[in-house]
Chain A
Amino acid sequence: GQQLNQSPQSMFIQEGEDVSMNCTSSSIFNTWLWYKQDPGEGPVLLIALYKAGELTSNGRLTAQFGITRKDSFLNISASIPSDVGIYFCAGRRSNKLIFGTGTLLAVQP
């Protein structure tokens, strides 16, 4: 089955650093979503993007819907230890979500 390509696969950073990750696809999507999965829990929706070029913020998180509709980016500013987890992108096509391969984020205090 199709999965979206996320990079980087993992990140190990110091508290206070900014983080950037992205998600790419060979085909276009109508909606991009970003989820965060805490260790041992299910993913929780962070941000949803509905239009090409859209830039949306949620606290320290900022996400963008790529102009080509084939990619999306997530930035986290001033990381804190509770940001640790796996971040998944997801693209909507028709009434299905296709998930990315995930980016593991570790934050050292």
Chain B
Amino acid sequence: DGGITQSPKYLFRKEGQNVTLSCEQNLNHDAMYWYRQDPGQGLRLIYYSQIVNDFQKGDIAEGYSVSREKKESFPLTVTSAQKNPTAFYLCASSPLILATPTGNYGYTFGSGTRLTVV
């Protein structure tokens, strides 16, 4: 079955360390996204990519970095420059064109990674 996989589910990081969150999809989607969710908060866009080797900053990109070397993979690195990294991180993917003559598409989300800085 096609889907989007995030790993690990839980991650603990010491202050001052970089950490990379994995996101892999086998849906053949061109676009991928990273969101941050804090308790009781909505989804805030960190980075997104619409094509391999290209990505764009979202609303809260500072302290984060991404790469898109393969269509299937969009890893997120939380750097030591991110002042408050403890949060729930969600990866999503979608076709590049969300509306077609045969239907509309939304985003498909992974199950998330909860990052805690200790």
Contact = CB atoms under 8 A, between A and B. Distances in A.
Given A40-B112, A41-B112, A50-B104, A92 B99 contact: yes
Contacts of B96: 95
Contacts of B110: 42
A1 B44 contact: yes
Contacts of B99: 30-31, 92, 95
Contact of A42 (B31, B45, B109): B109
A99 interface: yes
B16 interface: no
Interface in B70-118: 88, 90, 92, 94, 96-99, 104, 106-112, 114
Quick one: which of B92, B97, B99 has the most chain A CB within 10 A?
B99
Interface stretch (A11-19, A74-82, A100-108): A100-108
If over half of A's interface residues share one DSSP class (helix, strand or loop), that class is named, otherwise mixed; here it is strand
A6 to B, nearest CB: 8
A44 interface: yes
B104 A48 contact: yes
A104 B106 contact: no
A44 B109 contact: yes
A97 B40 contact: no
Contacts of A73: none
Given A3-B42, A88-B42, A97-B107, A42 B90 contact: yes
Given A40-B114, A88-B43, 16 more contacts: A1-B45, A40-B112, A41-B112, A42-B112, A43-B109, A45-B108, A90-B106, A92-B98, A95-B98, A95-B99, A96-B98, A99-B42, A99-B43, A101-B42, A102-B42, A104-B40
